Amino acid sequence: MRFMIMHKNDPQTEAGQPPPMELVTKMGAFIGEHAKAGRLIDGAGLGASKTRTRLVFRDGHCTVKHGPYRGEHELPAATLLLKVKTREEAIGWAERYGKILGDGEIELGKVNEPWDIGLMPPPADPPLQILLIEKADAATEGGGRSAAQKAALTRLKTEMTKAGVLQRSLRLESSAKAKRLVFTNNDLQMIDGPFAESKELIGGFAVLELSGMDEAIELCRNYAAILGGTLEIDARLVDQSDDAN
C-alpha cells in the first residue's frame, strides 16, 4: 500500500529559519534508510507561506493571492511536482488546471532545495521546483471527478510532460481512509477521517510503500520525534487505481 505522510508547517519554517543541521542530518538518515529499503517513492519539504501562491476559482474567475498567508482550506486531493523557470509560469499552468475543475482552490508551494537549507551554495539561475496542490472538495471526497474532467486533466498533464514541466503526480484517496496524528511532546492523539478540512499548511511530505496503516503510524512516530515531537501529521492513502487522475 502506498501512503503520503504529510507534516504541517511550523513557526520556525514560517519565519524563514533554516532547520538546525542536527535535524537535517537525522532526517537525511531517516530518509536514506527507507530509500535503501526500497520503500521511499518521493518526498520534499516546502518553504514558508511567503514563497507560496493560492489560486481560488469561483464562477469562472480566478483570484491569485501571493503569500505570506495563513492556512484556510488545506486538505489536498492531488499533487503535481512542476519544474519551471518562474513562478508566473507555474501560475499559468495552475490556472489552466483549475479551470478544468471549476470552483475550487489550488496552492503552489516552492520546494526546498539543498541550498535553501544550507547544504550548498545556490547554483546560477536554477529552475524552480513547485508543488501544485489541488484542494479536496465534495467531488474528490465522494465519487471523484467526472469523466470529462479526467479526460481534460489527462490531456493537460500530457502537454505538461511534453513541455518538461510535469515531473511527477499523484492522487490521494478520500480522507475517510486517512488518519490525523497530533503529537504533543511525542504523545499521540489519533483522529480518524474523514476530515472536513485542515487549516494547517503542508510543510513537507514523503510517499512510501508500506504494509498498511499500522506501519504508517509507527513510521510517523519516528518522523515526529525527529521533527521535535510536537506537530500534526496526516497519513493518506495514495490512489493507485488505473483511472487515478
Residue 201 has pLDDT above 80, yes or no: yes
- Judged by phi (left if over 0) then psi (alpha if -120 to 50, else beta), residue 20 lies in beta
Residue 240 corresponds to which cell in the numbers above?
Answer: 493507485
Nearest alpha-carbon partner for 198 in 46, 74, 77, 70: 74
Residue 136 has pLDDT above 90, yes or no: yes
- The pTM is what? 0.93
Percent of the chain with pLDDT over 90: 73
Q: Identify the pLDDT of residue 244.
A: 67
Render pLDDT for 13-53 as a digit per residue (tens, 0 to 9): 888 887 888 888 898 899 899 999 999 999 999 989 999 99
